[in-house]
Amino acid sequence: MRQTALAFVILFSIVFNLEARNHFSGTTHHPESEEGRMDASILDRIDSVVNNGIHERAFPGCQVYILKNGIPVYDKCFGTYTYETTQKVNPNTMYDLASLTKTTGTLLAIMKLYDEGKLKLTDKASDYLDFLRGTDKENITITELLFHESGLPGTLPFHRLVIEKKDNSSALSSDPMHIIQLHSKRYKYNENLVSKIPSDEYPIQVCDSFYLHKRIHKAAMEMIAHTHLGMKTYLYSCVNFILLKEIVEKISCMPLDVFLNLYYYNPMKLNHIAFLPLRSHKLDDIAPTLKKDYLRNGRIQGYVHDPAAAFLGGISGNAGLFASAKDVATVYQMLLNKGELDGKRYLSQETCNLFTVTTSASGRRGLGFDKPDPAHPKWNSCCVSAPQAVYGHTGYTGTCCWVDPVNNLVYVFLSNRTYPNDAVNKLARMSIRPKIQELMYQSMLGK
């Protein structure tokens, strides 16, 4: 009888520990991080780095999430949604990922299509996008778009497509919805191109009560086609990923968000990652990004911060994805696992190796992924201890995810450092994200 009871206790202990590992969502993992081989006391120093950032008003709140060998070793939320509110950040809070969308969304779709043999990296973008044919952009390849070596500019002012050509500041309409302040001048939106309510003619939503005419998307693509093409050297460009999104949709015959939900997010059971998150989540689930946007004359919460993505309807290749840190980490853990997660294969090992290992001749970028750049400390987004094999991306709103295949690490930092004013970037000046990453490595080395 005693042996039976002892066996039951042992069995219960094993099951309990397995469940704890599978469902861990607390703070720092603390059996001296035996399973993760990391020193929890050093990981705890991350708290002071983050709290100092909040104290200095580098960001009102954030999430930090670290996986080692697929196990959470650090999972904490800090601060509040804004400096004016007491609403605390929680594990399910969704942040605007900004350019982290490029690798958490668009690149995954490109990798899937490549994996299935539906596109080659040597393919020309004009093979799929008619509006590039007959232009000086006709020979831009998928590889050049991924390496940011296409010659395209960093971004384009799509909002100008709906602004009246003449400055009508002396005869502006009485409708404030149509008035915007750009720098020191006031401009008027073209009333034939914008609407307060959605319809078949005005399906593109920019924010609350702000919809664009359906022909604006085509006009934006024509703006890309007609813009000046520079030298095919490295220049980080959101336009590259805007085109990659268009290519995905042309090949797959479905919107980018539908594609990603179908092939990744839904089968991964991710509940806090989405484009246009207000379609599926409450406003309080989403951290606000900006107190007042000059193009939309109001607070930005639940709508993409990036202006180019906003005027493309919020589902863009360069920005527009919102997510929690845990859901972001899950996506990159799949990549770290060479395309597999929880017994399901999403990508082949060969495709994962190609995209995460390949580096451009300039050494600055991978195939869509950013890389450490220790030779240029001013531009290096990673800490000094990050191996060259690390890959990931950052986001303008104060986000990042870095994967270390050498040490089996995934590091995610999400914040809304742009609130209330995106012109102030104390997060970068204080090197908050690299400092947290450095502590991660120090804990692993037991320094």
Q: What is the pLDDT of residues 254-290, one digit of tens each?
A: 999 999 999 999 999 999 999 999 999 999 999 999 9
Residue 14 is predicted with a pLDDT of: 38
pLDDT of 297 above 90: no
Ramachandran quadrant class, 304 (left: phi over 0; alpha: psi -120 to 50; beta: rest): beta
In this structure, the strands spanning 273-275 and 321-323 are antiparallel
What is the total residue count of the chain?
Answer: 447
Q: What's residue 356's pLDDT?
A: 97
**Could you give the C-alpha distances from 239 to 146, 151, 226, 257, in angstroms and in order?**
11, 10, 13, 18
pLDDT of residue 182: 62
- Is it the case that residue 167 has pLDDT exceeding 90? no
Q: Which range is least confidently modeled, 9-13, 102-106, 247-251, 290-294?
A: 9-13
Cβ 64 vs Cβ 51: under 8 Å = no
Q: Is the pLDDT of residue 353 over 90?
A: yes
The token duo for 269 is 């059971």
Q: Are 134 and 233 in contact (CB under 8 A)?
A: no
Identify the pLDDT of residue 426: 97
What amino acid occupies position 82?
T
Res 444: pLDDT? 87
Average pLDDT on 305-325 reads: 98
Q: Looking at the predicted structure, is the pLDDT value of residue 96 above 90? A: yes
**Across residues 346-370, what is the average pLDDT?**
94
Give 25-96+320-445's CATH code, choosing from 3.30.200.20, 3.40.710.10, 1.10.10.10, 3.40.50.1980.
3.40.710.10
CA dist 438 → 35, 298, 385 (Å): 20, 37, 6
pLDDT of amino acid 66: 98
3-state secondary structure of 206: strand
Mean pLDDT of 333-351: 98
Looking at residue 5, its pLDDT comes to 42
pLDDT-based confidence at residue 197 (cuts at 50, 70, 90): very high
Residues 181-210 have a mean pLDDT of 88
Examine the pLDDT at 194 and tell me if it is beyond 70: yes
Q: How far is CA 109 from CA 245, 278, 283, 360, in A?
A: 8, 23, 27, 20
Q: Which two tokens stand for residue 298?
A: 């109001």
Phi, psi for 316 (deg, rounded to 5): -135, 165
**Does residue 203 contact residue 217 with C-beta atoms inside 8 Å?**
no
Confidence at residue 179, expressed as pLDDT on a 0 to 100 scale? 67
Q: Would you kindly state where each structural domain of the chain is located, as residue ranges?
A: 25-96+320-445, 103-310
Q: Of 224, 260, 227, give the one whose Cα is nearest residue 129.
A: 224
Q: Can you give the pLDDT at residue 377?
A: 81
In the predicted model, is pLDDT for residue 16 greater than 60?
A: no
Residue 410 pLDDT > 90: yes
Question: Residue 47 above 60 pLDDT?
Answer: yes
Stretch 303-332: mean pLDDT? 98
Query: Is the Cα dihedral 247, 249, 415, 310 positive or negative?
Result: positive
Q: How much is the average pLDDT of 108-115?
A: 98
Whether the pLDDT of residue 17 is over 90: the answer is no
* List of E strands, 237-347: 273-275, 290-293, 298-300, 321-323, 340-341, 344-345
Q: How far apart are CA 175 and CA 196, in angstroms?
A: 11
Q: Are 106 and 245 in contact (CB under 8 A)?
A: yes
Q: How confident is the model at residue 184 (pLDDT cuts 50, 70, 90)?
A: low
When the pLDDT of each residue in the chain is averaged and rounded to a whole number, the result is 89
Q: Quote the CA–CA distance of 9 and 395 in Å, as a whole number.
A: 48
- Alpha-carbon span 98 to 109, nearest angstrom: 17
Does residue 173 register a pLDDT over 70? Answer: no
| DSSP reduced 3-state for 76 | strand
Task: Work out the pLDDT band at 72, boundaries 50, 70, 90.
Answer: very high
Q: Is the pLDDT of residue 441 over 90?
A: yes
| Of the candidate ranges 8-22, 166-180, 404-418, the one whose mean pLDDT is the lowest | 8-22
pLDDT, position 52: 98
**Is pLDDT of 44 > 70?**
yes
CB 312 within 8 A of CB 84: no
pLDDT at 378: 82
What is the pLDDT, as a whole number, of residue 175?
A: 55
Q: Which of 2-6, 116-120, 254-258, 426-430 has the lowest mean pLDDT?
A: 2-6
Residue 181 binned pLDDT confidence (cut-offs 50, 70, 90)? low
Is residue 21 over pLDDT 80? no
